[in-house]
Structure formats: C-alpha cells, structure tokens
Amino acid sequence: MPKDNVPNFVKRALREKQTQLVYNAAQIGCQNLRCPLQAGMAIPMMLGGRVLGVLTLYFTENWKLTPIEIQTGEGLGEILATQIVLGEKERQASLLRDAELKSLQAQISPHFFFNSINTIIAISRFDSEKARFLLRELSTFFRSNLLGANQSKIPLKQEEAHVKAYLNLEQTRFPDKYDVEFFSSVDDQVLVPPFAIQVLVENAIHHAFGNRKTGNIINIWITRSGRYLEIRVTDNGEGIDPNVIDKLGKEKTNSKHGSGTALQNLNARLKGLYVDSAKVQIVTGKTGTSISLLIPYAQTEQKPNLKGVATDESTDC
C-alpha cells in the first residue's frame, strides 16, 4: 500500500507500538459513503522493541470487535512476528551456508589444501617448528569455517584468527608477494558477521594485483567511526573496472577480476542482520581499492542473557 494511503490508526500503531482500535468508517479512513467496513484494529508485530510490521483486521459491524477478537488478533500478530523472524533466521542460515561453501570452494579447494600441505611438508625438512605452526594455522582455518557457518555473529577475535591463519598459509606459499598489515583499535570481543573480513581479504588476494609478483600491499583496519564499527580493507592494486563498480555487492558481475558473488553475498547478509543500518562502501582508482563495511556499533556488543551467557562519499552497495 502506498505510504500516503496508510490509514492514520495504522500509522499510530507503528508510531506508538500499541494496538489501535477504530469503530467507524471515518476512523478507518474509508471515504466511500457505502463503505462496508465499520471497525478495525491495527496490531504492531513486535520483536523486542522493534516493529516488524502491522497486522490490520477489519469488521463489517463494530459490535464484532470484542475483547476476544482483540486478544485473538494480538496473538495472531505475535505468531506472525515469530514466523517473520524464523524466516529471516533461515535466510541468514542459508546465506551463511552459501558463504561457507564459497569459502571452501575458493580457499579450501583441493589446490589450496594440497598446496598448503605440500608447503608444510617441504618446510618440515628444515624448520620443524614452523611446520607445526602452519599445521595449527591450517587447523584454525578449517575450524573457523565450521564454527562461522553455524553462527550469525562471532567475536572479532575469532574472525581475526581465521583471517590471520589464511594469510599465514598464503604468505608462506608465496613469500614476499604480499605485505599485509592488521590494525585494530576496538575490543576484540565485539560481534561481527562471520567471513566478513575474510571475504574482503580474499577478494584483494585473488583479484587486486593481476600478475604482479611483488610490492602488493594489503592493509586491514578495524576502528570505531562515529556510531559505526568500520572494517576496511585497502590494497594498492589495479583498481576495479568502472563498468562494474556500481554493481558490486548488488548483483553478479562479469569481469576479468571475478563475478562479485562473494561481495553480493556479504552485502545480503549485512542487510539481513542489520536491515538498512549497515552498508558497504567502495572507493577505487588506478592506485588501488578500499572496501569498508560499516556496522552499527550498538549492534556489535555482546549482550548477556539472565544467566550471563552471551546471545547471540563513495559507492554504497
């Protein structure tokens, strides 16, 4: 329904977050002189303090709007709100499974796995300590993929461990090819979507530098920027094709640097978790690319339940 056509009592339900009752056609907003609607109620569908929508019920006789009908309507509103939340959780789970699959396909492919193992075997011949370290990193990487696939948000510390394990393996396989720095000025227990940093780092590793063998710089910044947690990954690569920049994060693209599916998936997960409060920003040029995730800082904090257990400009994509 167009916003201008929304009845006033429905707007009040949204604004006041309480059930609103009306008992005649004028209060309903029905302009037809022979309007069959004589009563109605608007029930905000709530999750905590958040309004997910409004359930509106109409009656042809105002005497039919009884306390029993009101109670039934409010119960139905609660059921529908629960179903909306469950549907969104299922969508998030699907996106996470897709993220895990893409991570496994792109990074834990047979090539990645066996190349890592072969590298570790080769190193074990002359540096057993480093070989053991890399085996632990490979284990950390696998474990982080499995853990991340089952959660909608994880502590930043866990995501950092995942990324650093991946980088240690990549930099061992390609010594001196990548110079990567990690900067963080926030609490490592803040909550972030799993694979959030990993997707951006992987994107830079695989697509930013073309065939350049040395001098490839990647910086990872995690800071608080006003009311946002900002995750920013910058590189000094070739930049992104201007013909696809506006599509990144929104749809698949066809370019020599990839399809953009990982960024599209990440952006969809951000919207699912934070609605329109989070965003992806991309700045690119011939001297490199900067991709930032901006997440409402208030939604990154771990909130304990009653038992003390944690519960769960630029181009905007």
Q: Are 88 and 274 in contact, with CB atoms under 8 Å apart? A: no
Give the model's confidence band at 313: pLDDT under 50 very low, under 70 low, under 90 confident, else very high.
very low
Give the model's confidence band at 307: pLDDT under 50 very low, under 70 low, under 90 confident, else very high.
very low
Question: According to the model, what pLDDT value does residue 304 have?
Answer: 45
| Pick among 3.30.450.40, 3.10.290.10, 2.40.110.10, 3.40.430.10: CATH of 3-86 | 3.30.450.40
Question: According to the model, what pLDDT value does residue 308 have?
Answer: 37
Token output for 149: 């696939």
The mean of the pLDDT values for the chain is: 79
Q: What percent of the chain has pLDDT over 90?
A: 19
Range name among 97-106, 260-269, 271-280 with the lowest pLDDT average: 97-106
Question: According to the model, what pLDDT value does residue 228 have?
Answer: 92
Q: Are 184 and 205 in contact, with CB atoms under 8 Å apart? A: no
Taking the C-alpha atoms of residue 205 and residue 217, their distance in angstroms, rounded to an integer, is 10
Question: According to the model, what pLDDT value does residue 249 have?
Answer: 56
Taking the model in full, what pTM does it have? Answer: 0.61
Task: Return the domain boundaries, the chain.
Answer: 3-86, 107-316
Question: Mapping DSSP to helix (H, G, I), strand (E, B) and coil, where does residue 49 land?
Answer: coil
- How many Cβ atoms are within 10 Å of 80's Cβ, its own excluded? 15
Task: For residues 292-314, give the mean pLDDT.
Answer: 62
- Per-residue pLDDT of 54-107, as tens digits, reads 888 888 888 888 888 888 778 777 777 777 766 666 666 666 656 655 554 444
| Pick among 3.30.565.10, 3.30.420.40, 3.40.50.620, 3.40.50.300: CATH of 107-316 | 3.30.565.10
Using CA atoms, how far residue 230 sits from 165, 196, 203, 280, in Å, is 22, 11, 18, 10
pLDDT at 156 over 90: yes
Question: According to the model, what pLDDT value does residue 252 have?
Answer: 60
Any bridge partners for residue 310, and if so which? 304
B/e letters for 4-24, b = 16+ CB within 10 Å, e = fewer, are eeebebbebbeeeeebbbbee
Range name among 2-11, 113-122, 218-227, 268-277 with the lowest pLDDT average: 2-11
Same topology, domains 3-86 and 107-316? Answer is no
Task: For residues 159-176, give the mean pLDDT.
Answer: 90
